[in-house]
Chains A and B, each alone.
Chain A
Amino acid sequence: MARIALLIAAFFSTTLLSAKTSAESNNFSLSSGDGSLVVIVVLAVVFAGLFVFLLTIERKLNRLEKKLDNKS
């Protein structure tokens, strides 16, 4: 699985390098609007919480796997 992930990372790193910022001026940013920082922080915290949850499960699984290995 890690090898597959590495291959994909290599693929996307090349495509990402080819993406340049456009010079067109018809753009506007959310960061200039009211309350945008709050939205960013709330979403970042929610997703960070998801990863903390996944890491907690990982730890529990590690412990259980060790226990089972010791038993057998």
Chain B
Amino acid sequence: MKRNWWKILCVVLFLYAVIYGLSIEVPDLNRLHQTVRNLFYHVPLWFGMIFILLISFIYSIRYLSSGKEEHDIVAIEAVKVGLLFGVLGFITGSFWGNYSWGELSAWLTSEPRSLASMIAMLFYVAYIILRGSLEEVTKRAKISAVYNVFAFVLYLLFIIVVPRLTESLHPGAGGNPGFNIYDSDNNLKVVLYPAWLAYMLLALWITNILVRAKKIELKTLTNDI
């Protein structure tokens, strides 16, 4: 129980964000109206993705310094979860874009932030393909760890720096895709911040499960041999 407190925290925060997020009063913003509630799903998914890719980045560095196979397993499983969260982020963003921008594909055709995010995600798709193409275990782990370090730096550049260099359909005018004081409301923050934490913990939890499953698989294979 002591070791699992953060999983309980995740469940509590998640249900709080869902239930309270749907019953709370929200600001009646122009064009957004009730769709602003998607903020409690769409944005935390991206934060969950960034967080779990940061974990992957850290474990890749740890692998390069220690050479432990365990660190390599955490790095790859975290990337898989990050991609899952990214895809869900795109899906929730598409639905939101459909209501507020008028078309389902607006997020891809006229939004630099979404395009940059998609390119950034492709780096990680390439990471998985790269791993699949190498057969020798140590070589695969080392090359993919080096690649992962560069991929994370590029990922941050593409999702944080690039969208700020141009106009964006995302909230905030003048090339700033982030929320500013005119878009955000304290009522929203009361749900948004716990939702961030809930999604980060959920990403951690799923990664933890995948890592444990992978270790069991490897142990079973070793025992059979």
Contacts and interface: CB of A to CB of B under 8 A. Distances in A.
The finding on whether chains A and B are genuine partners in a shared complex, rather than unrelated, reads yes
B31 interface: no
Contact of A44 (B15, B27, B28, B197): B15
Contact of B6 (A5, A12, A65): A5
B186 A39 contact: no
Interface residues of B, number: 42
- For B28, B196, B197, B209, the residue with the greatest tally of chain A CB atoms inside 10 Å of its CB is B197
B125 interface: no
A2 B3 CA distance: 8
Interface in A24-72: 24, 26-31, 36, 39-40, 43-44, 47-48, 51, 54, 57-58, 61, 64-65, 68, 71-72
A2 B51 CA distance: 14
Contacts of A19: 186, 189-190, 193
B186 A47 contact: no
Interface residues of A, number: 38
A16 B194 contact: yes
A24 B27 contact: yes
B76 to A, nearest CB: 16
Contact of B18 (A1, A4, A47): A47
Given A4-B55, A12-B193, A27 B26 contact: yes
B27 A47 contact: no
B22 interface: yes
A19 B113 CA distance: 27
Contacts of A5: 6, 9, 200-201, 204
B14 A40 contact: no
B209 A12 contact: no
- For A19, A21, A40, the residue with the greatest tally of chain B CB atoms inside 10 Å of its CB is A19
- For B23, B26, B37, the residue with the greatest tally of chain A CB atoms inside 10 Å of its CB is B23
A54 B28 contact: no
B157 interface: no
B139 interface: no
12 contacts: A1-B55, A6-B6, A12-B197, A24-B27, A27-B187, A29-B25, A31-B23, A57-B209, A57-B213, A61-B212, A61-B216, A64-B216
